[in-house]
C-alpha cells in the first residue's frame, strides 16, 4: 500500500531509515483538490450575495460554509508543505543558500505579478486604490507582520509559509531539521503557545495585542510540523515505539479541534465557530492521510491541476473581480438570470485560463531559473572554499 511511494534511505539525525518519496502525483492531486476547495469557498460566498442569486439556490455556498472548505484546503496545503519542505534541503555545503534561492524563484515572481494584476483590476473594475507603501510592503510577502494590509486577503497564508521556511532553515542550520523527537516536542510547544493565548482570553479576559491572524501562526506551524512527522510515521522504517512517540504531535495538534467540538457540545466555546474550526481541521487531516497513505490511481487532469495550483490560488480573486464587473455591464445583462453555479463556473474557468498562462509564462520559467542559479551559486561557493 505504501511501498510504491518511496525507496529506502539511510539514517538522518533521528529519522532512521526514512524513505524518499519518488511519486509526486498524489501530492499534485492533493494540491489541486486543496486549491479547488479554496476557490469553491471564496466564489460561492461572494456570488451568493448578488441580489436574486440566493433565490435560485444556495446549496453550493451552504455546503462550503458548513465545514469551511477554504480552511480545509489551507490546512491541506500546510500539511503538504510540512511533508515536503524539510526534505528539500540538499546535502553538503550551501544547502540553505540553495534552498533559499529556489524558494525565492518558486514563490516571488508569479506572486509579484498577482499583486500587479490585483492592483490593476481593483483600480479599473472596482475603483480600489492602494498606496505606494502598501504595495511596496506587499512585495516582501511579510506585509501584515510589518503592519500593512494584504492586497489580497489570501496572502496571509503565504506569509505563514515564509515563516515556516525560515524556521526550517534555522532547524537545518542547527542540525535539528531531521530530528524526529525534537520536531515532535517543538510541534507541541507551538500548540501550547496557541492554546495558552486562548485560555488567557477565555479565563482571564486577556486581550492580546496580536491580531487573530498572528495568534493563529503558532498553531499553523504545529500543523506543518505534523506534515513532516506524518511522513516519517507513514514511510519511515522506525520502531513501533518511535512512531508512537512521533504520533504524539498530530494527536495533540489535531486533538485540539476534536476537543473544540466536544467542548462546544458541552456549551463551552474554546474558539470562534467551533464546529467549523473542528470539522475543517479534522477533515483536512483525513483527506491528507488518505491521499498520501493509500495507493490510488490519480486522474491526469487532477494531477495537472495541482501543478498550476499556486497560480489558481493567487489569481482566483482577480477572476472574481472581473466576473462581478461583468454582471454590471449592459452588454452582459443576460448574466442577471444566472444561478450561483453559473457565476462560479465562469469565475473558475477564467481562473484556470489565467493560471495556465501565468504558470507557463512566469511560474515555470522562474522555477527553472531558480534551479540554474542555485546550482551556479553553490558551485561558486565550493570553488571559493577549495
Domain parsing of the chain, residue ranges: 3-385
Nearest CA to 232 out of 253, 249, 252 is that of 249
| 41-57: average pLDDT | 94
The pLDDT-based confidence of 281 (bands split at 50, 70, 90) is very high
| 226-250: average pLDDT | 92
Nearest CA to 139 out of 120, 152, 123 is that of 152
pLDDT digits (tens, 9 = 90+) for 61-76: 999 999 999 999 999 9
Phi, psi (5° rounding) for residue 327? -70, -15
- Give me the chain's average pLDDT, please: 88
Residue 8 has what pLDDT?
Answer: 35
Residue 379 has what pLDDT?
Answer: 52
Spatial contact of 223 and 253, defined as CB atoms under 8 Å apart: yes
Buried b (16+ CB within 10 A) or exposed e, 195-228: bebbeeeeeeeeeeeeeebbebbbbbbbbbbbbb
Spatial contact of 285 and 247, defined as CB atoms under 8 Å apart: no
Residue 172 has what pLDDT?
Answer: 93
Residue 2 has what pLDDT?
Answer: 39
Is residue 152 pLDDT above 70, yes or no?
yes
Is residue 273 pLDDT above 60, yes or no?
yes
pLDDT digits (tens, 9 = 90+) for 252-262: 999 999 998 99
CB atoms within 10 A of CB 55: 8
The pLDDT-based confidence of 384 (bands split at 50, 70, 90) is very low
The pLDDT-based confidence of 377 (bands split at 50, 70, 90) is low
pLDDT digits (tens, 9 = 90+) for 298-312: 888 888 999 999 999
Pairing label, strands 6-7, 20-21: antiparallel
Q: Find all residues with CB under 8 Å of 64, minimum gap 6, and list them.
A: 37, 40, 41, 44, 45, 70
Is residue 103 pLDDT above 80, yes or no?
yes
The pLDDT-based confidence of 201 (bands split at 50, 70, 90) is confident
Residue 236 has what pLDDT?
Answer: 85
CB atoms within 10 A of CB 92: 9
How far apart are alpha carbons 81 and 96 in whole angstroms?
Answer: 17
Is residue 1 pLDDT above 80, yes or no?
no
Q: What's the alpha-carbon Rg for the chain, to the nearest Å?
A: 22
Q: Find all residues with CB under 8 Å of 303, minimum gap 6, and list them.
A: 25, 28, 29, 32
Is residue 216 pLDDT above 60, yes or no?
yes
* % of the chain surpassing 90 pLDDT: 69
Residue 380 has what pLDDT?
Answer: 55
Residue 3 has what pLDDT?
Answer: 35
The pLDDT-based confidence of 374 (bands split at 50, 70, 90) is confident
Residue 4 has what pLDDT?
Answer: 37
| 312-339: average pLDDT | 91
Is residue 15 pLDDT above 60, yes or no?
no
Residue 157 is placed in which grid cell?
A: 497564508
Q: Which residue has the higher pLDDT, 185 or 376?
A: 185
CB atoms within 10 A of CB 112: 15
Phi, psi (5° rounding) for residue 216? -80, -20
| 71-87: average pLDDT | 95
Residue 359 has what pLDDT?
Answer: 97
Residue 332 has what pLDDT?
Answer: 81
Nearest CA to 228 out of 60, 84, 39 is that of 84
CB atoms within 10 A of CB 130: 17
Q: Which residue has the higher pLDDT, 51 or 296?
A: 51
Residue 72 has what pLDDT?
Answer: 97
Amino acid at each position: 500500500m505504501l511501498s510504491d511511494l518511496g525507496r529506502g534511505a539511510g539514517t538522518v539525525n533521528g529519522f532512521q531509515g526514512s524513505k524518499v518519496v519518488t511519486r509526486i502525483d498524489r501530492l499534485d492531486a492533493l494540491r489541486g483538490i486543496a486549491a479547488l476547495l479554496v476557490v469553491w469557498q471564496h466564489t460561492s460566498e461572494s456570488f451568493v450575495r448578488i441580489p436574486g442569486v440566493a433565490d435560485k439556490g444556495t446549496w453550493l455556498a451552504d455546503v462550503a460554509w458548513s465545514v469551511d472548505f477554504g480552511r480545509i484546503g489551507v490546512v491541506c496545503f500546510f500539511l503538504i508543505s510540512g511533508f515536503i519542505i524539510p526534505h528539500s534541503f540538499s546535502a553538503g555545503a550551501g544547502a540553505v543558500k540553495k534552498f533559499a534561492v529556489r524558494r525565492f524563484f518558486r514563490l516571488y515572481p508569479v506572486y509579484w505579478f498577482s499583486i500587479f494584476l490585483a492592483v490593476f483590476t481593483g483600480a479599473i473594475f472596482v475603483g480600489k486604490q492602494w498606496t505606494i507603501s502598501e504595495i511596496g510592503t506587499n512585495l516582501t510577502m511579510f506585509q501584515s507582520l510589518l503592519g500593512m494590509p494584504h492586497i489580497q486577503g489570501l496572502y496571509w497564508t503565504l506569509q505563514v509559509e515564509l515563516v515556516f521556511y525560515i524556521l526550517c532553515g534555522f532547524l537545518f542550520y542547527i542540525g535539528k531539521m531531521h530530528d524526529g523527537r525534537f520536531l515532535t516536542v517543538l510541534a507541541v510547544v507551538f500548540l501550547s503557545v496557541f492554546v495558552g493565548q486562548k485560555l488567557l482570553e477565555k479565563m482571564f479576559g486577556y486581550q492580546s495585542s496580536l491580531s487573530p491572524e498572528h495568534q493563529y501562526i503558532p498553531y499553523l506551524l504545529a500543523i506543518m510540523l505534523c506534515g513532516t512527522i506524518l511522513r516519517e510515521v507513514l514511510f519511515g522504517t522506525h520502531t513501533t515505539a518511535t512512531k508512537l512517540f512521533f504520533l504524539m504531535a498530530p494527536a495533540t495538534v489535531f486533538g485540539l479541534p476534536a476537543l473544540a467540538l466536544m467542548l462546544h457540545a458541552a456549551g463551552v466555546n474554546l474558539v470562534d465557530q467551533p464546529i467549523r474550526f473542528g470539522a475543517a481541521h479534522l477533515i483536512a487531516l483525513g483527506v491528507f492521510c488518505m491521499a498520501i497513505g493509500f495507493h490510488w490511481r490519480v486522474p491526469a487532469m487532477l494531477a495537472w491541476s495541482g501543478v498550476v495550483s499556486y497560480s489558481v490560488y493567487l489569481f482566483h480573486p482577480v477572476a472574481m473581480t472581473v466576473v462581478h464587473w461583468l454582471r454590471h455591464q449592459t452588454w452582459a445583462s443576460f448574466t442577471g438570470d444566472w444561478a450561483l453555479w453559473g457565476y462560479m463556473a465562469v469565475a473558475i474557468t477564467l481562473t484556470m485560463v489565467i493560471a495556465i498562462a501565468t504558470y507557463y509564462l512566469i511560474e515555470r520559467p522562474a522555477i527553472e531559473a531558480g534551479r540554474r542559479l542555485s546550482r551556479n551559486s553553490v558551485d561558486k561557493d565550493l570553488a571559493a572554499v577549495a
